[in-house]
Amino acid sequence: MSLAQVGEERLLELQELEELKLEAYKNSITYKEKTRMIHDKGLVRKDFKVGQKALLFNSRLQLVLDKLKSKWLGPFEVVDLFPYGIVETRSLETGKEFKMNGHRYKIFNEGEVNLARSSLVLTSPSIT
């Protein structure tokens, strides 16, 4: 092989490596977009309205000492909504108002739950 031919082949190999790198970069971008879309689809939107009731997450709960203690405090009444997810609530027990991050709240659904109960009698086959 001549020196010019070897140099040309080396340039072709470098060009091929560059193309593979660009293709891998594009594939990683599409993968990130798809995983972000799947993640965002699984998120639950919490759209609070003024006058609605909400429960506050108790972050100071010590799981070892109080295993049966509830993680949620409340209910609280939503008084005002601010930008960037800040929610102002009023305690129904004390009437005290305070602002907190909306991620620490969940919507309180009050009312009766109708559970349809059905019974099934199991009998063992008689052995004679």
C-alpha–C-alpha distance, residues 76 and 66, integer Å: 23
C-alpha–C-alpha distance, residues 18 and 12, integer Å: 10
3-state secondary structure the chain: CCHHHHHHHHHHHHHHHHHHHHHHHHHHHHHHHHHHHHHHHHCCCCCCCCCCEEEEECCCCCCCCCCCCCCEEEEEEEEEECHHHEEEEEECCCCCEEEEEHHHEEECCCCCCCCCCCCCCCCCCCCC
Please report whether residue 57 resides in a domain: yes
Q: How many domains does the chain have?
A: 2
Q: Domain span at residue 7?
A: 1-43
Q: Are 88 and 79 within 8 A, CB to CB?
A: yes
Please report whether residue 126 resides in a domain: no
C-alpha–C-alpha distance, residues 118 and 9, integer Å: 78
Please report whether residue 81 resides in a domain: yes
- Looking only at the bridges linking them, the beta strands covering 72-81 and 97-101 are unpaired
Considering the domain architecture, whether residues 103 and 57 belong to the same structural domain is answered as yes
What is the predicted pLDDT for the residue at 58?
84
Please report whether residue 115 resides in a domain: no
Tokens 């009698």 belong to which residue? 121
The band of 119, judged by pLDDT with boundaries at 50, 70 and 90, is: low
What is the predicted pLDDT for the residue at 60?
74
Q: Does this model's pTM top 0.85?
A: no
Please report whether residue 62 resides in a domain: yes
The residue with greater pLDDT, 26 or 126, is 26
- The token duo for 42 is 């699984």
The band of 67, judged by pLDDT with boundaries at 50, 70 and 90, is: low
The band of 115, judged by pLDDT with boundaries at 50, 70 and 90, is: low
